[in-house]
Amino acid sequence: MNDISLSLDTVWMLIAAMLVFWMQPGFALCEAGFTRGKNAANILFKNFVDFMFGSLLFWFVGFGFMFGSEGAGFIGAPNWGDLSFYNGDLPVEGFLMFETVFCATAATIVSGAMAERTKFSMYIIYSLFISLIIYPVEGHWTWGGGWLSNSASDSFMMQTFGDVFHDFAGSAIVHSVGGVLALIGAMALGARRGKYAKDGSSRAIPGHSLMLAALGVFILWLGWFGFNPGSQLAASGEVNRTAISHVLLTTNLAASAGGIATMFVTWLKYGKPSFSLMLNGVLAGLVGITAGCDLVSPVGAVVIGLVCGVVLVFAIEFIDHVLHIDDPVGASSVHGVCGILGTLLTGLLSVSNGAFYGHGWGFFGAQCLGILAIDLWAAACGFILFYGIKYLKGLRVDARIEDEGLDVYEHGESCYN
């Protein structure tokens, strides 16, 4: 490859990595806005912790678990901070940065669902495990060249489905894993005090600033323009410049369609369009399109956005009113449900190998197995981790701390003075 092309690809990858990093403040603002002011410093702090520990751990061992070669496609060898094993065209340190911000995105999804009642120290333990092992292992199965993405003709996936699992930028690998862990974390914790009445009916606990939440969602939207188009990992040449443009378009269309769908569903359902749910709807469309943003047509992207935006409203209601799992920001619905949905819809709507375009059900089967394997792994780890912490050390703060706010008791500092 010629030198200028490689430099162009590197610069694009690094810019995209910076944009994906910018999703961290997006998550932080979104989660802080949807929760109460007395816990704002705590939730902002958690978003920093996820990124800081994730950066160190993913550099030191996670990168090796994910992209190392040993382990028969199930797990790579830990690299202990040594990056020399990696032999790709792109500079390995830049590539590590790009993968680090994706790992940190998966890690940071959970804090919103567990907001307002988790011990800070126990949250750090969760945060170590996702960056250390949970994310790198399933990442190895897919982007690391493991068993789900092994396209050799005698591999398990090719023999069974005639196709490999495809997740372009991480609907399954990043978002559904974060969403599943969020759901299990919130389940293990139990609801916030006062969230459910004695008769089991759900109560509203309005967040303290839709201004912050809205800014957070806009920032995430921008960050996604790095998340998805950046995952092409190249910009030079006709194929790549066409691909990143296509991905940018499909990403934006799905986000818009998702927000619009949620707006109209809430308008019909509740009599008024709900702004807070529409914010989630935009994210639902973005999460949904992430798996197939390179394979679906612009129309397909709008379909994915609309489906995710509609399903989101019912998923949030189901998790809240039926399962009685208290997820203050809707992370399990947005990232979990819509991540799974987007991965499956890719199997149907992919122009090159999807079932709706007459290419048979092999690719859809590969998507089903992939999402099942990834999320079962995440769920199993989540169960052991969260219930283990719960019974050994306790996940929750005391009732008094929860009532008066985590900021003062966990950190001695309040967000607003």
Partner 1 sequence: MKKIEAIIRKTKFEEVKEALLNSDINWFEYHDVHGIGQSRQARIYRGVQYSTDVIERVAISIVCRDQFVDPTIQVIITTAQTGEIGDGRIFVSDIIDTYSIRTGEFGDCVLRDKK
For partner 1, the closer CB: 15 or 205: 205
> Does 316 engage in binding with partner 1 (CB under 8 A)?
yes
> Does 267 engage in binding with partner 1 (CB under 8 A)?
no
Choices 146-154, 228-236, 274-282, 348-356; region in contact with partner 1 by CB under 8 A:
274-282
Cβ 330 to partner 1 shortest distance, Å: 7
The first and second tokens of residue 51, run together, are 């990124």
Residue 119 near residue 395 (C-beta atoms within 8 A)? yes
First-to-last C-alpha distance (Å) of the chain: 57
Cβ 121 to partner 1 shortest distance, Å: 29
Q: Tell which one of 69, 150, 202, 240 touches partner 1 (CB under 8 A).
A: 202
For partner 1, the closer CB: 202 or 297: 202
DSSP classification of residue 398: P
For partner 1, the closer CB: 74 or 270: 270
> Does 214 engage in binding with partner 1 (CB under 8 A)?
no
Spatial CA neighbour of 30 closest among 298, 335, 297, 381: 335
Place of tokens 């089991």: 200
| CA dihedral of residues 299, 232, 12, 61 (deg, nearest 10) | 130
Residue 71 near residue 239 (C-beta atoms within 8 A)? no
Q: Tell which one of 162, 241, 317, 379 touches partner 1 (CB under 8 A).
A: 317
Query: What are the φ and ψ backbone dihedral angles of 318, each rounded to 5 degrees?
Result: -65, -45
For partner 1, the closer CB: 167 or 327: 327
The first and second tokens of residue 43, run together, are 């939730």
Question: Which alpha helices (DSSP H) does 271-297 contain, by range?
Answer: 275-289
Choices 101-109, 229-237, 265-273, 345-353; region in contact with partner 1 by CB under 8 A:
265-273
Q: Tell which one of 81, 194, 206, 394 touches partner 1 (CB under 8 A).
A: 206
For partner 1, the closer CB: 13 or 114: 114
> Does 203 engage in binding with partner 1 (CB under 8 A)?
yes
Cβ 103 to partner 1 shortest distance, Å: 29
Q: Tell which one of 5, 155, 240, 274 touches partner 1 (CB under 8 A).
A: 274
For partner 1, the closer CB: 155 or 202: 202
Q: How many residues does the chain have?
A: 417
Residue 180 near residue 378 (C-beta atoms within 8 A)? yes
Q: Tell which one of 320, 375, 407, 410 touches partner 1 (CB under 8 A).
A: 320
Query: Binders of partner 1 among 91-110, rule CB under 8 A?
Result: none
Query: Binders of partner 1 among 332-371, rule CB under 8 A?
Result: none
> Does 204 engage in binding with partner 1 (CB under 8 A)?
yes
> Does 313 engage in binding with partner 1 (CB under 8 A)?
yes
The first and second tokens of residue 152, run together, are 């050799």
Place of tokens 């489905």: 161
Q: Tell which one of 272, 358, 392, 412 touches partner 1 (CB under 8 A).
A: 272
Q: How many CA atoms lie within 13 A of 109 on its CB side?
A: 32
For partner 1, the closer CB: 198 or 272: 272
Task: State the sign of the Cα–Cα–Cα–Cα dihedral 264, 266, 267, 268.
Answer: positive
Cβ 331 to partner 1 shortest distance, Å: 12
Q: Residue 274 in 3-state DSSP? A: coil
Query: What are the φ and ψ backbone dihedral angles of 308, each rounded to 5 degrees?
Result: -65, -40
Choices 50-58, 64-72, 163-171, 313-321; region in contact with partner 1 by CB under 8 A:
313-321
Distance CA 28, CA 175 (A): 16
Choices 2-10, 104-112, 165-173, 311-319; region in contact with partner 1 by CB under 8 A:
311-319
Place of tokens 């799905």: 254
Choices 69-77, 103-111, 316-324, 394-402; region in contact with partner 1 by CB under 8 A:
316-324
For partner 1, the closer CB: 226 or 328: 328
Spatial CA neighbour of 385 closest among 115, 190, 114, 184: 184
Query: Binders of partner 1 among 277-296, rule CB under 8 A?
Result: 277
Distance CA 377, CA 306 (A): 29
Distance CA 287, CA 176 (A): 9
For partner 1, the closer CB: 283 or 303: 283
201: left (phi over 0), alpha (psi -120 to 50) or beta: beta
Q: Which residues bind partner 1 (CB under 8 A)?
A: 202-206, 266, 269-270, 272, 274, 276-277, 313, 316-317, 320-321, 330
